Structures are given as structure tokens and as C-alpha cells.
Amino acid sequence: MRSQHYLTVECLDKPTESAWMALYLSGTNKNFLNATGLTRSFSRLLHRVAHFYDILHPSS
């Protein structure tokens, strides 16, 4: 017998209140690199591809 588990939208955090945003906005560079494998220079790359995607500002 198979069982399925799923999350509903109500139990998901708002993107602006997620652990990812807390780390991105106030974490240290070392912690950010350890958690994501990305450096803060990732924002430069993000800026270059932003016109191809709808990217929300962290405060929105």
C-alpha cells in the first residue's frame, strides 16, 4: 500500500520570511557560502539574468 505525504500552501512560509532570506539578508559571508555554495557575488549574476525572470525584491 502506497501512502502519499504533501504540504498545503497554508503551511508554507512566505518567501520574505524564509530561512533563506534571513541568511541572505543578515548572515555572514562564511555562513552564506557554507549553506549555499554561493558567495555574495551571486547577486552580480542575479542582476545579469534578472531581465529574463520575475525576481522579487527581498522586502516585497
pLDDT tops 60 at residue 60: no
Q: pTM (2 decimals)?
A: 0.43
Q: Which residue has the higher pLDDT, 59 or 54?
A: 54
What residues contact residue 31 under an 8 Å CB cut-off, 6+ apart?
23
Q: For the chain, what are the domain ranges?
A: 9-52
Express the helix, strand and coil content of the chain in percent, nearest 5 each: 55, 0, 45
